[in-house]
Amino acid sequence: MRKKPESISPDLTSLIDVVFILLIFFIVSSVFKKEELALILDLPSSKAEELEIEKKEVFIEISENKFAIFGKEVNIVELDKRLSNITKKNNNIIVRIDKNVRYERVVKVLDNLQKYDLNNLSLVTKKVD
């Protein structure tokens, strides 16, 4: 009488332990973004009160040589196209402007906002203690 060969199967317990340890490591070491901001800006200071921001706001960032809208870097032409696609004219427009930006760059953005009748404008600053 012949014996049936025993089947060999790997021990999955240690494999599952390693997978969970890796999962925990990646969750703990990941960085979660608070806001979708594309440019690193040095904002001017102000003593104004804080504004509550909702999800439907339009974020525009202006640095010395770049523009960004909705957290994505764009040029002035692309910024103009995106502003033209905004359908609700009562949306809040949140503008972050680096304090070293030339006035001419700010005026370009303000002209585009005025062209599409986007007037509900808020400027972001650093809070002064």
* More confident position, 57 or 39: 57
105 part of a folded domain: yes
Q: What contacts 83, CB < 8 A, 6 or more positions away?
A: 58, 69, 112, 113, 115, 116, 118
Structural domain includes residue 28: no
Q: Please tell me the total count of domains within the chain.
A: 1
Residue 34 lies in a domain: no
CA atoms within 13 A on the CB side of 102: 6
- Find out whether 66 and 78 touch, Cβ atoms under 8 Å: no
Helix (H) or strand (E) holding 69: strand 67-69
Does 105 or 38 have the greater pLDDT score?
A: 105
> Residues 77-85: what's their mean pLDDT?
88
Q: What is the pLDDT of residue 23?
A: 94
Q: Which domain holds residue 120?
A: 45-127
Q: What is the pLDDT of residue 25?
A: 93
pLDDT at 40: 72
Query: What's this model's pTM, rounded to 2 decimal places?
Result: 0.57
Which of the listed ranges 4-18, 58-72, 84-98 does the model predict with the highest average pLDDT?
Answer: 58-72
Considering only 13-17, 40-44, 122-126, which range has the smallest mean pLDDT? 40-44
Lowest mean per-residue pLDDT among 64-73, 92-101, 119-128: 119-128
Residue 117 resides in a domain? yes
Looking at residue 118, its pLDDT comes to: 85
Rg (CA), the chain: 26
- Evaluate if residue 100 carries a pLDDT over 70: yes
